[in-house]
Amino acid sequence: MQAQSELISLPQTLTEMFTRARPDYERAVRGIRWGEAPVYLLGSASTLPAALAAGYAVEDLLGYPAVVREASSFLSYTLGTVRRGSVMVAVSNGAAAAPRLVEAVQAARKQGAQVLAVTAESSPLALAADHVFVLPEVAGNPARGLAEACLEHAAVGYLALIAARLFKRPRASVDRLEDDWHDLPAHLEWIVSQLAAAVRSFAAELRSPGRVFLVGEGFYHPSALRAADLTPRPDQVLGIDLAGLRLRLVSDAAVVFLSSSRSRTRKESADRAIELNARGAASLAVTDSNDHELLRASRLALLLPDLAELPGSVLALAVAGWVARQMAEHARVTKAAK
């Protein structure tokens, strides 16, 4: 299974990122003069979900307001708000950074912004930025979009965690979060080795002709968006938040809630699942075993380890993306058999 093979090397990559690379990351974060002004989070079309995850992490852990933009939108509408000393975090997913993202970074620096790039060391974005939070290369299958997506989300969360450690007063909640963060590689390794059969069964529930909505709120919203991007069925698999779900008629759809027992919107997710069941939609869940209300409301669930929202959302992305890839694989096999 391709998605499973993409994820095999990811735990080791994350372990190295959280240990050997930490001094380099701390130097990059210290190179920025963080203040109370808004922090700009920029992404390309493919990395905008990671930029959104970074925005949630900056607001939650650092207490700074976040402005999340796709590069073209930033150049057209937001560049004029940048001031000398403004902080920008730009996220790119490889050596060939999106040209508009590089252009946005260059334009912001001309206006005095400080830019921290989350990207590959050889990326054009790295050359355009002031400091680089280096994304390591994930070994293995060349078509490793799922692993790279998880790595980006993990990196932006880790960046915010390091900044909170360096610049904010000590907090017990941050201590607990860091413990969960360092457990993330082991949990991913368990998922890759143990959940293949469960993922196949879960994906089988989503093979009907109707639409599939991946729904997440807060930290889980970027995971839903990016997981939906990993399927070649953009017209049928959509990532949305709870507000977006309320606006849609989904009686003939399957709805997959990405959540956890530690999500601050877990009750709203459970309530929404109950409503959808009453309307004839199929509610499924990717969550942990302590998320009792959502599990009771779900036809089927994939159970994940119990982690804080930020690292938990990385696990949810890995599993939801794996499910999306499994659906696409089934569609290819079915088409070839006809």
pLDDT at 39: 97
pLDDT in tens, 102-133: 999 999 999 999 999 999 988 899 999 999 99
DSSP string of 100-158, one letter each residue: HHHHHHHHHHHTT-EEEEEE-TTSHHHHHSSEEEEPPPPPS-S--HHHHHHHHHHHHHH
Architecture of domain 2-183: 3-Layer(aba) Sandwich (3.40)
Residue 43 backbone phi and psi in degrees, to 5: -145, 165
DSSP per-residue string spanning 67-115: EEEEHHHIIIIIGGG--TT-EEEEE--SSS--HHHHHHHHHHHHTT-EE
pLDDT of residue 331: 59
* pLDDT at res. 143: 47
Question: pLDDT per residue over 221-278, tens digit each?
Answer: 999 999 999 887 667 889 999 999 887 767 778 999 999 999 999 999 999 999 988 8
d(C-alpha 245, C-alpha 268), whole Å: 12
pLDDT of residue 96: 62
CATH of 195-337, one of 1.10.1380.10, 1.20.5.50, 3.40.50.12780, 3.40.50.10490: 3.40.50.10490
- Domain coordinates in residue numbering, the chain: 2-183, 195-337
| pLDDT for residue 59 is more than 60 | yes
Task: Phi first, then psi: give them for residue 151, nearest 5 degrees.
Answer: -65, -40
Give residue-wise pLDDT tens across range 188-227: 999 999 999 999 999 988 876 578 999 999 999 999 999 9
Q: What is the pLDDT of residues 303-319, one digit of tens each?
A: 999 999 999 999 999 99
Q: Is the pLDDT of residue 142 over 60?
A: no
Q: Is 195-337 the same fold as 2-183?
A: yes
